[in-house]
Amino acid sequence: MKKVLLTGGHAATTAISVIEELIRRYGKDGVDIAWIGARFALEGKKIDGLELKIFPEIRVKSYFLKLPLGFIQAVYFILKIKPDVTLSFGGFAGFPVVFASWFFRIPVLIHEQTPGVGLANKLSIFFAKEILLARGESAKHFGNKKTEVVGNPVMTQISEVQVKEKIGNPPVIFVMGGSRGSERINDALFSVLPKLLEKYQVIHITGEAHFKKFEGIRNINYQCFPFVSPMQIDNLYRECDIVVSRSGANTVAELMIVKRPAILIPIPWSHLNEQEENAKLAENFGLARILKQKDLSGERLLAEIEQIIKDWEKIISSIKSKHSGDISASIKLVDVLEKYLK
């Protein structure tokens, strides 16, 4: 049986798409897939990470590191799993696993999802057999190490979402702030929600920490959820006409496939300004307007939404025939991974 170890942080949806492709090739009984990651989404804050919520659903063996014991635990888990190959998506939980894998002479591949480079992947360069990139722009951060652009893997159900030909009546606005929600986006939305609901439907993922503020709102045009599984997010993309979101690498990859016009609000303190770089990819693709957090207010958000609605048909016309290479990214990535499977 093939044994594949995946590791990293904030990479649940990317990992799921790789898992899907491995199972397509080898069947559920032909590949043993394990995940090592962080127990919580943010170290020091007890907010469960996506990986903890999702991987049990798809029956992936999951192990969680607890810093500062990460290196010791990584060694223990590696000896227990005995993988043929380790694939890291970066994140603070990924580096101890990369180092332990290298120490036991297990081939290590790393995948960088952003146009820049995460700190964990930067530290992992020396230990990696191959470096796989979502975006060619990040190659410069890996020195003389050989890199290969494969794209950013997305889940199968995302690639099956069709472009919309007509805007809804009323238009549907899907607001989310990443897997944990965004207080800044939520506050801006809250201040203009009554105005929005006069003309539009709003679907809102608040994040678990912010749900109480919104759960009492009773309006036929408003739905809110503390959390939605990535396995169901395609249904919300199908329903919506416009997306308001942070600009994480996975979100941007998904938007360029589902082709929903978007207002992207990058996290200003992200490493190497990676969220703004992600947002620029979507802007250059033709589907997004960038709203900087320093300019975010309820009235500005309302104005941006109304401008997108005004331009909606023109935006769709310009992007509906464009192709995103991320649709085949999981195939390309697993092609490389297969070289190391016994």
Q: Is residue 156 predicted with pLDDT exceeding 60? A: yes
Domain count, the chain: 2
pLDDT band at 173 (very low <50, low <70, confident <90, very high): very high
Q: Residue 132: what pLDDT?
A: 97
| Cβ-contact 249, 134 below 8 angstroms | yes
Which carries the bigger pLDDT value, residue 50 or residue 272? Answer: 272
This prediction has a pTM of 0.92
Same domain, 182 and 298: yes
Q: Residue 40: what pLDDT?
A: 59
Q: What is the CATH number of the domain that holds 26?
A: 3.40.50.2000
Same domain, 314 and 329: no
Q: Residue 97: what pLDDT?
A: 97
Any domain includes 330: yes
Same domain, 113 and 206: no
pLDDT band at 92 (very low <50, low <70, confident <90, very high): confident
Q: Residue 12: what pLDDT?
A: 83
Q: Residue 44: what pLDDT?
A: 44
DSSP code at position 92: T
Any domain includes 159: no
Q: Residue 47: what pLDDT?
A: 57
Same domain, 268 and 332: no
Any domain includes 88: yes
Same domain, 107 and 129: yes
Any domain includes 303: yes
Same domain, 28 and 135: yes
pLDDT band at 41 (very low <50, low <70, confident <90, very high): low
| Cβ-contact 135, 281 below 8 angstroms | yes
Neighbouring-strand partners of residue 225: 205
**φ, ψ for residue 247, nearest 5 deg:** -125, 55
Mean pLDDT of 104-132: 95
Domain of 307? 164-319
Q: Is residue 45 predicted with pLDDT exceeding 80? A: no
Same domain, 45 and 135: yes
Q: Is residue 187 predicted with pLDDT exceeding 70? A: yes
